[in-house]
Amino acid sequence: MPENIIQVEGLTKCFGDFTAVDAITFTVKKGEIFGFLGANGAGKTTAMKMLIGLSKPTKGMGSVAGFDIAKNPEKIKKRIGYMSQKFSLYNDLTVKENIRFYGGIYGLDKKRIRSKTQSILKELNLNDVAGTLVAALPLGWKQRLSFAVSMVHDPEIVFLDEPTGGVDPHVRRQFWETIYEAAALGRTIFVTTHYMDEAEYCDRVSIMVSGKIEALDTPENLKHQFKAKTMDEVFLKLAR
């Protein structure tokens, strides 16, 4: 049995009278690709923000990489990578400078930054544009670079918040390949999305509807359970 790298129990977040996340409970195993699904406004991003230390839980418990999210957010931050739905690189810095900057703020030493830069440039085939401003790159490239940069410090878990928002299907496909590559290296991937077809790529998925987790299993089991052919159908049945 692989250990649970994320463990959440009764996690709740209220904004005044409104309960954005309502007592959710789930675990994520080490090395799995966990899909965190839900419609816009279902509370995915709020839940994720509590896990990565951007927001404090109102009630409930949670631990990430073995540390309590309420007590030790600083220790968690060193062990996780994060890529937000907004584009997270600096447009007025070159590809190389972006990698160096993020390596720098995670406290990597010079040698390590240099070798990381080399390997990222090589893996993504970006050697020719290493000195180009990020603003000039096509969206698909930026996205993959953004993902690579979020893993510059070799985190145990990578949180991806709607990483494929606003990208065409072909590029989305490509992006998922890079996610698989990262998972193959033993990294845990926690990914939120509202594209149901992407759910099929995940090892396990949870589906959030208005603040609650309504379903949690492998895509196969969920389809079986809801007697549906695709994840899309599963979702439609749940949302009703």
Partner 1 sequence: MFKIFKAFVKKEVYHILRDRRTLLILFGMPIAQILIFGYAVTNEFKDAKIDVLDYAKDQSSLQLVQHIQSSGNFLLNRILHSEKEIEAGFKAGTSKLVLVIPESFGADLYGNRPVSLQLIADGSDPNNANTLVQYALAMILDFQKERLKLAENPFQVRVETRMLYNPQLISAYNFVPGTIALILLIISAMLTSLTIAREKEQGTMEILLVSPLPPLLIILGKVAPYAILSFINAVLVLVLGYFVFGVPIIGSLTLLLIICMLYVITALSLGTLISTISKTQQDAMMRSLMGLMIPSMILSGFIFPLASMPVVLQYLGHIIPATYFIAILKGIMLRGVGFNFILFEVSVLLGMTLFFLFMTYKKFKIRLE
**By the criterion CB under 8 A, which residues form the site for partner 1?**
52-56, 74, 77-78, 80, 82-93, 97, 100-107, 150
Question: Nearer Cβ to partner 1, position 78 or 224?
Answer: 78
SS3 (DSSP) at 169: helix
Smallest distance from partner 1 to CB 88, Å: 5
Q: Annotate 132-167 with three-state secondary structure.
A: CEHHHCCHHHHHHHHHHHHCCCCCCEEEEECCCCCC
Q: What region does 69 belong to: left with phi over 0, alpha with psi -120 to 50, or beta?
A: alpha
Smallest distance from partner 1 to CB 209, Å: 25
Smallest distance from partner 1 to CB 96, Å: 11
> Residue 233: what residue type?
E
Question: Nearer Cβ to partner 1, position 53 or 211?
Answer: 53
Question: Nearer Cβ to partner 1, position 109 or 220?
Answer: 109
Return phi, psi of residue 113, to 5°.
Answer: -60, -40
Question: Nearer Cβ to partner 1, position 84 or 201?
Answer: 84
Smallest distance from partner 1 to CB 236, Å: 31
